[in-house]
Amino acid sequence: MIIKNVHIENNPKLQDVEIRDGRFYRIADEINGTGQVIDGKGSLLLPPFIDSHVHLDSTLTAGEPEWNETGTLFDGIRIWSERKKSLTKDDVKKRAKKSIELMASNGIQYIRSHVDVTDPKLTALEALLEVREEVKDIADLQLVAFPQEGILSFPHGKDLMTTAVKEGVDAVGGIPHFEFNADYGRRSVAFLMELAEKYDKLVDVHCDEIDDPNTRNLEYLATEAYERGMGARVTASHTTAMAQYNDAYVCKLMRLLKMSGINFVANPLVNMHLGGRFDTYPKGRGITRVKELLANGINVSFGEDDIQDPWNPLGTGNMIDVVKMGVYACHLMGHQQLVDSYKLVTTNASRTLNVKDYGIKEGNEANCVIVGSSDFYGALVGDATVLYSIRHGKVLVKRNAPDVEKNW
Ligand code: 17E
Ligand code: FE2
C-alpha cells in the first residue's frame, strides 16, 4: 500500500508512505508503485489515537437505574454500585464492544480500560478479558484491575485484586482517596505496588480525584514508584486534588514527581464537570496541573474516562473532543500548543501505555490515521474527522469528507 500526499505529524512538506507486510517500509518525498494507493490529498497523517483512560464496564449505562443529577463523583459511584448488581457477562460484553466500535470508527486503536473488581463475582472482569481477545483486530485493549469501592474498605478487596491479577489484567489500579481513612489510602498504595511488582504488571491508580486540598496519596504513589524503580510503568490518573494544593507544596512535590518518572492521565471532559461541585464561588475546575507537569518534562496524556454512564451522560468516543476541552481547560491555547496538542492523545499516551512499535517510522507497525486537515490546528478549528484508520497495513475505517450543499 502507498499513502500519497500527506503531512506527517504537521510536517509542512507533503510526503508519501509505503507499507509492506503490515509495517511502514519507506517514507519519502515521492513513492510510486503498484498495488493499493490512497491519495491523502494534503491531509494530516498521525499515529492512531489512544484513549489512555476509559471505563468500559460502565459504558452506555447512563440513566440506569437513575441519572446522575448532582454531577458529583460520589453520586456516580453510588449509582454505578446499584447498576453493578444486575451485570451479566453478556450485558458488559455488548456495551463494551459497542463503545470500542464507536472509538475505532474515530481512529482510536489503543485503549486502556479500568474494570471494577469490587464485585465478589468479578462479572465485568470475566467479560472484558474475553472482549480484549475478541476486538484484537480493531484495537489493542489494556485492562486495569480497578477497585472502585476500595481495596481495604471493601470486603475481601485484597483477594479480589489478587485474583484479577492472576486472571490476566495488564495493570493494577487503586483509589486511595476513596478508602475509609488516610491510613487505608497509604496502605492500599503500598499493597497495589507490591502486587504489581510481584506479578510484573503496569500500575494505573485513580489518585486523589477529590477537591480536598489535604489529600496526599500522590506523594506516596510517586515515592513507591521511585524507590522500586518502576516510574515508567506507573500512572497517576485524575490527580485533580493537585488543582487545590498550595503552590509551595506543589513546588516540593514536583521534584519527587520528576525523579519518579511516573506518567499522568488527565480526563478533561469528565473532571471539568465532576470537579468544583461542592464549591459556591470561586469554583474549582477539577482538572490537574497539566500545563505545569508538561513544563517540568513529565509525561501527560488525556483520556475520555466515560462514554454515557453515571459519570458522564455525554461522551462520544472521539479523542478530538477530549483535546478540545483539554486545551481550553488547561490553558494550552498558544498556537504551537494547539498544533502539538494531538500528542496528548497519541505519542504521550503511548508512553503511558508502554506501547511498543508505535509511531510513523520505517520499521514500525503500520498503524495510522488520516485526518481531514493539513495540520492539527486546522483539524481543531475545522472539526476535521478521521478519513482513514489504517491498522496492521489494512484499511479499518474509511470515511468521506462531509459533502455540504450550499445554496447561496
Ligand atoms: N470511577 C471513579 O472513581 N472516577 C471516575 N472518574 C470514574 C469512575 C469515571
Ligand atoms: Fe476514571
The answer to whether the beta carbons of residues 306 and 270 sit under 8 Å apart is yes
Mean pLDDT of the chain: 97
Check pLDDT > 90 for residue 315.
yes
- The answer to whether the CB of 116 is under 6 A from ligand 1 is no
- Ligand 1 center to 113 CA (angstroms): 11
Is the Cβ atom of 376 under 6 angstroms away from ligand 1? no
Beta strands in 272-330 (DSSP E): 300-302
CA of 106 to the centre of ligand 1 (A): 23
Q: Which three cell numbers stand for residue 355?
A: 506501547
Which pLDDT band, with edges at 50, 70 and 90, does 285 fall under?
confident
Query: pLDDT band for position 339 (50/70/90)?
Result: very high
Atom 4 in ligand 1: residue holding the nearest Cα: 73
Distance CA 115, CA 57 (A): 6
**347 pLDDT more than 90:** yes
- Ligand 1 atom closest to the Cα of residue 271 is 6
* Alpha carbons 201 and 182: distance in angstroms, whole number: 25
Q: Given pLDDT bands bounded at 50, 70 and 90, which one contains residue 401? A: confident
* pLDDT for the residue 53: 99
Long-range (24+ apart) CB contacts under 8 A made by 252-257 are 253/218, 253/219, 253/222, 254/292, 254/296, 256/219, 256/222, 256/223, 256/226, 257/218, 257/222, 257/293, 257/296, 257/298
Question: What digits encode the pLDDT tens for the residues 222-263?
Answer: 999 999 999 999 999 999 999 999 999 999 999 999 999 999
**The ligand 1 atom nearest the CA atom of 77:** 1
Grid coordinates belonging to 406: 450550499
**How, if at all, do strands 386-391 and 394-398 pair?**
antiparallel
Q: Phi/psi class of residue 37: alpha, beta or left (left: φ > 0; alpha: ψ in -120 to 50)?
A: beta
Q: What is the pLDDT of residue 284?
A: 87
Report the separation in Å between the CA atom of 43 and the middle of ligand 2, taken as the mean of its atom positions. 33
Please report, rounded to a whole number, the percentage of residues in the chain having pLDDT higher than 90: 97
Contacts of residue 36, defined as CB under 8 A and 6 or more positions apart, other chains included, come to 1, 2
Dist. CA 349–CA 110, nearest whole Å:
9
Cβ 311 under 6 angstroms from ligand 1: yes
The answer on pLDDT for 402 being more than 90 is no
Q: Which ligand sits nearest to residue 58's alpha carbon?
A: 1
pTM of the shown model = 0.98
